[in-house]
Amino acid sequence: MPASISAAPGNASMTSQTDAVDPASELAFLLHHAGITVPADRWDAVLAEYIAFRPHLALVNQALLPEDEPAPVIMMHPAVGRP
């Protein structure tokens, strides 16, 4: 894991859509913030997964316009009992 963090993004939903942010630094910051320490021998594999995952994060945010109406599927909807 990189020893220093070059970017200090405020939240992943913004940074994940920003190609300018170095994914390794971003991931290191977010894992540190979550209190998770990835051993050095696992870092490359985790980073590779993160790089593959970022487009998914970007897509779910880009696929909706702010004025879009859909409410979220509420987990275990108490009235309906299903999504």
Please tell me whether residue 83 binds another protein under the rule CB under 8 A.
Answer: yes
Residue 45 parent element (H or E): helix 40-62
Q: Mask 51-70, x = binds another protein (CB under 8 A)?
A: -xx-xxx-xxx-xx---x-x
Nearest distance in Å: CB 51, another protein: 10
Q: Mask 4-43, x = binds another protein (CB under 8 A)?
A: -------xxx--x---------xx--xx-xxxxxxx--x-
Distance CA 16, CA 64 (A): 16
Distance CA 19, CA 79 (A): 41
Q: Helix or strand or coil: residue 18? A: coil
